[in-house]
Amino acid sequence: MAHLLSRRHMLAAAALAPAAPFLARAQGSATTLVENRSFIGTRSLDATGGAGGEGLRVRSNTLIRRCQFLHLGNGGVRVNVPTVNLTVEECNAYNMYRFFEDTASVPASPAVLSNFVLRRIAAHELDHGLSRIRYYSSIGLIEDVVAHGSRQCDAYCVGFQLSGEAHHITYRRAEAHGFQETGRPEGAYWNGDGFSDERGNWAIRYLSCLATNCTDGGFDLKSAGMYLEGCIARGNKRNFRLWSSGTLQGCRSEEPVSRGGIGRPAHFSFHGEVGRRFTLVNPQVRASPGNDAPVFLIETSVPLVLEIVDADIYAPSAPLFAIDGPEPQIIWSSSRARQRIRVARER
């Protein structure tokens, strides 16, 4: 094992040669341990794209623990083949394009990842994001992971990203901060999200997660049947940007703000062909006097069914609803008059 982990693909800090992927291979069902190592690339602080190289490429039955990843490109840790049983924990990263990347080397063989855990990871100066997980990846837990965007985030940056048909993945106490697009013209829509998932995803849960200071959505979610509990979004343009169907339990929106580009800010916004039902249980909203971002911005192409249960809303300068599209069906449980709502007006 020591021979395996000390040989090729390891970039020494002093060498300053282009970073090459470190390939950790598991033997049968035994666990490959990568521990207390540093992976250092050549990425400068003003680099763009994937410059800097990869850190390591993993295989099934791998545990990566207490490692640091510095100045790397697209993948401090990369999954490039189908992989089962992967844990990455207690690691730190700085100045990277993306820390965890799931991209197949051979398109005909998708890099499906299953039974995986990312936990207790802190990353700063991320130009694009912390993780991208896709294909038919499933049965994953991402917990106590903190991602900070860089001062030069690129187009479509996002802290935590799901796509393809990834499913049955849980985020617990994950945080995304400051994913702000740079370089967009003022007349364009500015992207930059804390958390995102797509229409092909399902059974995604967000538990006690936090997203702050992004130029678009704190949580920009399209997965079917999404579930959020105890999540907080603060200082994003649209704190909760929702596209499909699901339930939000005890989630809190604070001080949405636009940093540029077109599109108005909002606490909770609904978009596209929602068509089904969202239930918000005990939604909590806080906005200072003068912040006129609507509490519920509804821009769907088909009527939205929105159930609001036990709301606690304080936005004294804002409308409760702003509607651009078909009239939604609003269900108050209990009645609107019995819920704690202080706004400037209904619309």
Average pLDDT for consecutive 10-residue bins of the chain (347 residues)?
32 35 49 96 93 96 98 98 98 98 96 98 98 98 98 96 98 98 90 97 98 98 96 98 96 97 96 83 98 97 95 98 95 94 97
Cβ pair 59, 31 in contact under 8 A: no
Tell me how far apart the alpha carbons of residues 290 and 292 are, in angstroms, rounded to a whole number: 6
Rg (CA), the chain: 21
Residue-range domain boundaries for the chain: 1-152, 153-347
Among all chains, which residue has been given the structure tokens 């470190």? 22
pLDDT at 275: 56
What does residue 54 show for φ and ψ, rounded to 5 degrees? -95, 165
The pairing of beta strand 83-102 with beta strand 68-79: parallel
Count of CA atoms in the C-beta half-sphere (13 A) of 204:
31
What ranges make up the beta strands (E) of 103-200? 113-133, 138-149, 158-162, 167-172, 175-177, 193-197
User: Hey, is 302 helix, strand or coil?
Assistant: coil
pLDDT at 183: 83
Cβ pair 54, 85 in contact under 8 A: no
Give the length of the chain.
347
Cβ pair 298, 321 in contact under 8 A: yes
- Burial label, 317 (beta-carbon count in 10 A; 0-12, 13-18, 19+): middle
